[in-house]
Amino acid sequence: MKSTPLTEVHIGLGAKMAEFAGYNMPIVYTTISDEHECVREKVGIFDVSHMGEFIVRGKEAAKFIQSVTSNDVYKLEIGDAQYSCMPNDDGGVVDDLLVYRLAEDMCAEGEQAFMLVVNASNIEKDWNWLESKNKYEARMINISDNTGLLAVQGPDAVKLVQKLTDFDTSSLEYYTFTKTKVAGLDNVILSATGYTGSGGFELYVDSKDLLALWNAVMAAGKEFEIKPAGLGSRDTLRLEMGYCLYGNDISDTTSPLEAGLGWITKLKIEDDFCSKSIFLKQKEDGLKRKLVAFKVDGKRVPRHDYTIHDLEENEIGIVTSGTQSPSLDIPIGMGYVPRAMGKVGERIKVKFGKKFLEAEIVKLPFYKVK
């Protein structure tokens, strides 16, 4: 099992540790609801150094990435980030990812540079997939083991990080980034991205500097009552916003169109990409199923792989994610159902054991951030 440079810090803080994607990761320090509320109301810090990072450089770097991702890479200016997915050849999803358009100061003339940020559980799989598709003048470098990543999330994140840098943090628009000095460390990528819906930044740094950056953020965050947050609250935060989790809501067998990711699946661009023809046909013929969000009556929490049923208790689908929403204090979930039965307001049942939970399909997000 791998460790991040902060593993001993997490243990020292009393975190409950567990294996996740091959890494020894903090799941919770105090309680999930406490850490969740801190991110929603103030600011929290996550160690997400288990994520994978690939550099792609070359004269055909953009062309290569366009051929393996569903969004429009050519729209990216230097300093832009983009959410996208890598479709496989069968209409499913290899992974979802972030694509960063990097500065070209380290490239040869005529070259471009990008950073792909992928899910920790898929690093090897994604690398092998990309290598198999790289028929372009593009070089790939796996920097995952040398890259540390902190997510500083919450409404006070802008003020907190401002204490550590001369860069105007309030000027960084959503899904843009800059490379700057933070906490005395050069070449930190400061990115206005995150997985919580509460705003903030993700900070990429050399792994050897991760502890120094963590300590600096924690010290600067005292006045904002910062708390470390684990993967437990990261999951409840993302689910309240309806963000997909790979391996649950999207996978090798789910179409991005079914998952509500049509907005990152650009079927009108001229360039071809993996499974584009399949997605075009799905759109033309009409989707057979869709990912829906639902709220459960009562207090029982729906869990991954519970079956979804109609009111006559006929099985119609499956739960992909479920939790007790700390912000709303109700059980919430997402799952796939036939498209015709996925309208907002539709009543469904979720089966656990021999019993059924009454639920209602609702519009995302579950929680609207203040």
Task: Give 84-118 pLDDT, tens digit per residue.
Answer: 999 999 999 999 999 999 998 877 888 999 999 99
Whole-number pLDDT of residue 109: 86
Specify whether 293 is located in the same domain as 219.
no
Residues 199 and 341 in one domain: no
**Measured between alpha carbons, how far is 70 from 52 in angstroms, rounded to an integer?**
19
Please report whether residue 155 resides in a domain: yes
- Mean pLDDT of all residues in 153-175: 98
CB contact at 8 A, 282 and 92: no
62 inside domain:
no
Whether residues 234 and 151 share a domain: the answer is yes
Do 297 and 218 lie in a common domain? Answer: no
Among 220, 239, 258, identify where a domain stops.
239
Site of tokens 């792609």 = 56
Q: What is the CATH number of the domain that holds 14?
A: 3.30.1360.120
Q: Are residues 43 and 154 in the same domain?
A: yes
Domain boundary pick from 221, 239, 257: 239
Question: What is the per-residue DSSP string for 340-358?
Answer: GG--TT-EEEEEETTEEEE
Task: Indicate the pLDDT class of residue 123, thresholds 50, 70 and 90.
Answer: very high
Q: Enter the tokens of residue 142.
A: 């796996």
pLDDT tens sequence across 224-277: 999 999 999 999 999 999 999 999 999 999 999 999 999 999 999 999 999 999
Whether residue 130 lies inside any domain: the answer is no
What pLDDT, on a 0 to 100 scale, did the predictor assign at position 107?
A: 78
User: Is residue 114, in this structure, part of any structural domain at all?
Assistant: no
> Does residue 305 share a domain with residue 224?
no
Please state the domain count of the chain. 2
Asked if the structure places residue 320 within a domain, the reply is yes
Is residue 41's pLDDT more than 90? Answer: yes
Specify if 101 maps to a domain: no
CATH code, 337: 2.40.30.110
Instruction: Select from 239, 259, 279 the last residue of a domain.
Output: 239
Q: 330 and 186 in one domain?
A: no
What length is written for the chain?
370
Say yes or no: 223 and 308 in one domain: no
- Name the band, by pLDDT with cuts 50, 70 and 90, for residue 141: very high
What would the mean pLDDT of 4-22 be, rounded to a whole number?
A: 97
Query: Within this chain, do residues 183 and 292 fall inside the same structural domain, yes or no?
Result: no
pLDDT exceeding 90 applies to what percent of the chain?
97
Q: Do residues 234 and 305 share a domain?
A: no
How deeply is 313 buried, as exposed, middle or buried, from its count of CB atoms within 10 A (0-12, 13-18, 19+)?
exposed
pLDDT of 311 reads 97
Please indicate, yes or no, if residue 150 is contained in any of the structural domains. yes
DSSP state of 70: S
Domain of residue 296 covers 288-363
Per-residue pLDDT of 179-190, as tens digits, reads 999 999 999 999
Average pLDDT, the chain: 97
Query: Do 233 and 157 belong together in one domain?
Result: yes
Could you tell me if residue 233 is inside a domain?
Answer: yes
Mean pLDDT over 345-366 rounds to: 97
Please enumerate in sequence order all residues whose Cβ is within 8 A of that of 132, keeping only pairs 6 or more positions apart, or say none. none
**Looking at the structure, do residues 195 and 311 belong to the same domain, yes or no?**
no
